[in-house]
Amino acid sequence: MNKVLISVIGPTAIGKTRLAILLANHYKTEIISADSRQFFKEMSIGTAVPNPTELSSAVHHFIQHKSILEPYSVGDFERDALNMLKGIFQKNHVAIMVGGSGLYVDAVTKGLDSFPQVDSAIREKLNRELAEIGIESLQSRLKELDPDHYQKMDIQNPHRIIRALEICIGTGKPYSSFLNRPKDKRNFKVVSVGLMADRKVVYYRINERVDGMMQDGLLAEVKSLVAYSELNALQTVGYKELFEYLNGNWTLDFAVSEIKKNTRRFAKRQITWFKKTEDVLWLDFDNTADKMITKVDRKVKELQNE
């Protein structure tokens, strides 16, 4: 139990990649990405995949290792990441994980809740209802079947709503009744390191990043994926807005403004999620590298000596 996973968390555009590389080089170890959209090789610019210089600065895993045409669930990631960590820990006492996808981070650090299998026809029916009627009817049904979960979840996320509803309908029990049951304990300790900044700074950095993505060719990347626009992986900020432009529904300027707005909303949800994480070492995003490493190293040594 002297093995330690340093989990770097925080909102999008805050500088998580930079810190992860600093820590990987300091501990001479490897990085696991827990960004659920950086898994896909067809999505590069819009997911802010680390650039070639960053990727060559430390060994990264789970970056563009899957196609959008391959199903890849959070459960698949939990299994693969734990196997990868087993190998890293054979060579090093410390590993780094970085990403803003809270559910994927929790899958590795805490373990996933276990749900019974339900008839796949239920999900298909709910997806048809979403396409034909809209999200509001699904929201209403979830509020009726599981008001506790409805109050806590992102009700604007259709995939999460459908997942909760299929469990409610398929089991006859609330989705929330399957949450927070005892899980398998990890054979490593976790240091959660969160990057923070004033919200205005985060929003400014997001706007700058979106402008940079457009300059780097995001529109061309999205054009190349139009044929796959219905896939779950592409129901992602930065892609769905430009699909609206390419379909003639929005102007380009409006689509870009919507990307910025929706990314800011996403960052707000990330901050809310990560604030619920226990015992986080919060660092100012603009701290010097030495200062960050010193604080993290102190925390790592405390855990290893417990």
Binding-site annotation, residues: 10-17
Maximal CA-CA distance, the chain: 60
Q: Using an 8 Å Cβ cutoff, are 280 and 190 in contact?
A: no
Q: Using an 8 Å Cβ cutoff, are 48 and 209 in contact?
A: yes
Residues facing residue 32 across a β-bridge: 61, 97
Distances (CA, A) of 158 to 9, 180, 199, 236, 263: 24, 22, 26, 12, 17
Annotated binding-site residue numbers for ATP? 10-17
Return the residue matching tokens 């210089």: 53
- Give the DSSP letter string of 222-276: HHTTGGGTTSGGG-STTTHHHHHHHTTSS-HHHHHHHHHHHHHHHHHHHHHHHHT
Q: Supply 25's token pair.
A: 């080089």
CA torsion angle 288 102 32 4 (round to 10): 70
Backbone angles phi, psi at 4, to 5 degrees: -130, 130
Q: Using an 8 Å Cβ cutoff, are 55 and 67 in contact?
A: no
Annotated binding-site residue numbers for substrate? 12-17
Q: Using an 8 Å Cβ cutoff, are 83 and 47 in contact?
A: no
